Chain A
């Protein structure tokens, strides 16, 4: 039987399970088109806010040993209204719009900006670890998570995905709140709060001092989270955190993810990585006798 890389997150069906993670390159429609041609099943935009944000001063990104990246870009973005204007001409690219805000009204305002755009899904950033009053601070407040998810669900028919991370609240409580409020999917996880200090100057390297760690070092943590979520909740999961090879992607699927996101790996492998990971997954499926991604999801759990 022919193998298919097609996968579904709620009502959203993607031709391929490899998605560009939020925060990475997601700034122009031309780049989205390029990444889609390169093999991405979908692209997630940078997290958009109501107003344009400049983000933090450099250094905003710093590479750490073992394939990790430390970043505190500060959610720089052109703002939802400007961004919506830019993607009105989108025809074929599955774009998942990432939104960041502090209260329900922020999300209300932002979703309305995209009324005339082809948007495949919304991803609510409840987990950025380095900007005050948004991201993790919202994700840690389970009542607020419920309100925001409910609000966005009431405004749109496309799937609403909650992106969770490791904050001060048990992340499974955040997942539970999002699911109760009707979230169609969960992206897990975001970067993890981290920092680096230069020993010569005795100064934190990032201008914001604390940032988020992504890349290879966080992969086992992310796999564990996907495994735990899929064991407790009946919700489609997008696995994210340190994926750089097809084996990593398969590992997340076996843990319970129906699709994967990655981004840090582009710093080393550039856009070819989408095609490499897609063909690696396909070969693996053929070897193991899987005909669909769905058959593989959660298969590490035995019967």
Chain B
């Protein structure tokens, strides 16, 4: 068991919980851990970077009962952590475009920490509104030694550019050339991002989310057609995803029944 050592309020609905764990502090971008909140539930969480050695974090948005239970943890509370599980982004050289929405930014920020100084990085941050924007300052700080730009897009236009993050992505792809696109966030955003990147002949990968129970490829809860998000993913190539009829369209409920996204 780990203890929550520090809590950062990122927005009115998002918190980052920091704890000590040597192994998780070094996970690859896209890998996740199963996090047990005693008495509440166990959730798959992408592992967030911290500024301190030997520490790892989870960034959670309160939404359902389980994520709210995690959000409501206090400093000193216990969490059970197992992992890391899953694969990671394949980081290409050159100009990279990162497209993140909400807590989907977590693996993208970790990806940034694996970049070389020669990488030129554009990070698109999507949010509904100004007060839900987070990680902009942290991203700029992590990228201070790289040629970079961080572009925030809010749906209501209260901060940064107005519109959907994929609208800005479309403009960027028209005006610039990139060597690779990486995305994590709401699935419809990822679906559009993968499509746009592929239609511009750019290598693209997405880190997917599905309901998980075991995290290790036993239970099958997170299957998307013949792939297991926990074991074959979380990161998939865009070319592979576009042959998967469930990507962007369907996910499984707890019982295993396919539902529309």
Q: A27-B223, A201-B1, A203-B39 are in contact. Are A46 and B256 (CB under 8 A)?
A: yes
Q: Which residues of B contact A31 (CB under 8 A)?
A: 220, 223, 226, 228
Q: Which residues of A contact B253 (CB under 8 A)?
A: 54
* Complex alpha-carbon distance, A53 and B255, angstroms: 5
* Complex alpha-carbon distance, A78 and B217, angstroms: 19
Q: Which residues of B contact A23 (CB under 8 A)?
A: 219
* A200 at interface by CB-CB < 8 Å: yes
* Complex alpha-carbon distance, A196 and B80, angstroms: 13
Chain A CB count within 10 A is highest, among B216, B218, B220, B228, for B218
Q: A31-B223, A34-B226, A203-B39 are in contact. Are A77 and B255 (CB under 8 A)?
A: yes
Q: Indicate the size class of the contact surface on chain B.
A: 20 to 34
Contact of A201 among B78, B226, B252, B255 (CB under 8 A): B78
Number of A-B contacts (CB under 8 A): 109
Q: Which residues of B contact A57 (CB under 8 A)?
A: 41, 66
Contact of A77 among B34, B216, B223, B256 (CB under 8 A): B256
Q: Which residues of B contact A205 (CB under 8 A)?
A: 36, 80
Q: Which residues of B contact A158 (CB under 8 A)?
A: none
Q: Which residues of B contact A78 (CB under 8 A)?
A: 255-257
* B177 at interface by CB-CB < 8 Å: no
Query: What is the CB-to-nearest-CB distance from A237 to chain B, in angstroms, rounded to a whole number?
Result: 24
* A76 at interface by CB-CB < 8 Å: yes
Query: What is the CB-to-nearest-CB distance from A184 to chain B, in angstroms, rounded to a whole number?
Result: 27
Contact of B252 among A27, A53, A61 (CB under 8 A): A27
* Complex alpha-carbon distance, A34 and B224, angstroms: 13
Q: A57-B41, A198-B38, A267-B218 are in contact. Are A27 and B213 (CB under 8 A)?
A: no
Contact of B217 among A46, A79, A203, A266 (CB under 8 A): A266
> Is A61 in contact with B213, judged by CB distance below 8 angstroms?
yes
* B116 at interface by CB-CB < 8 Å: no
> Is A207 in contact with B41, judged by CB distance below 8 angstroms?
yes
> Is A76 in contact with B226, judged by CB distance below 8 angstroms?
no
Q: Mark B29-62, 1 if CB is under 8 A from A, else 0.
A: 0000010101101110000000000000000000
* A55 at interface by CB-CB < 8 Å: yes
- Nearest A residue to B40 via CB reads A57
Q: Mark A242-276, 1 if CB is under 8 A from B, else 0.
A: 00000000000000000000011011101000000
> Is B43 in contact with A58, judged by CB distance below 8 angstroms?
yes
Q: A25-B218, A61-B218, A73-B213 are in contact. Are A79 and B255 (CB under 8 A)?
A: yes
Q: Which residues of A contact B226 (CB under 8 A)?
A: 28, 30-31, 33-34
Query: What is the CB-to-nearest-CB distance from B189 to chain A, in angstroms, rounded to a whole number?
Result: 25
- Nearest B residue to A52 via CB reads B255
> Is B220 in contact with A263, judged by CB distance below 8 angstroms?
no
* Complex alpha-carbon distance, A34 and B19, angstroms: 39
- Nearest B residue to A269 via CB reads B217
> Is A61 in contact with B220, judged by CB distance below 8 angstroms?
no
* Complex alpha-carbon distance, A55 and B34, angstroms: 18
* Complex alpha-carbon distance, A264 and B216, angstroms: 10
* A59 at interface by CB-CB < 8 Å: yes
* Complex alpha-carbon distance, A28 and B219, angstroms: 12
Chain B residues 178-226 with CB under 8 Å of chain A are 213-221, 223, 225-226
Q: Mark A12-28, 1 if CB is under 8 A from B, else 0.
A: 00000000000111111
* A60 at interface by CB-CB < 8 Å: yes
Chain A residues 65-122 with CB under 8 Å of chain B are 69, 71, 73, 76-79, 82
Contact of A28 among B39, B217, B223 (CB under 8 A): B223
Q: Which residues of B contact A73 (CB under 8 A)?
A: 213, 219
Query: What is the CB-to-nearest-CB distance from A262 to chain B, in angstroms, rounded to a whole number?
Result: 11
> Is A60 in contact with B219, judged by CB distance below 8 angstroms?
yes
Query: What is the CB-to-nearest-CB distance from A81 to chain B, in angstroms, rounded to a whole number?
Result: 11
* A7 at interface by CB-CB < 8 Å: no
- Nearest A residue to B225 via CB reads A30
Q: Which residues of B contact A59 (CB under 8 A)?
A: 34, 36, 41-42, 80
* Complex alpha-carbon distance, A57 and B41, angstroms: 6
Q: What are 29 A-B pairs at a CB distance below 8 A?
A: A25-B223, A26-B220, A27-B223, A28-B223, A28-B226, A30-B223, A31-B226, A33-B226, A52-B256, A52-B257, A53-B255, A55-B213, A55-B255, A58-B36, A58-B213, A59-B80, A60-B42, A60-B213, A61-B214, A61-B219, A76-B221, A76-B256, A77-B256, A82-B257, A205-B80, A207-B41, A267-B217, A267-B218, A268-B216
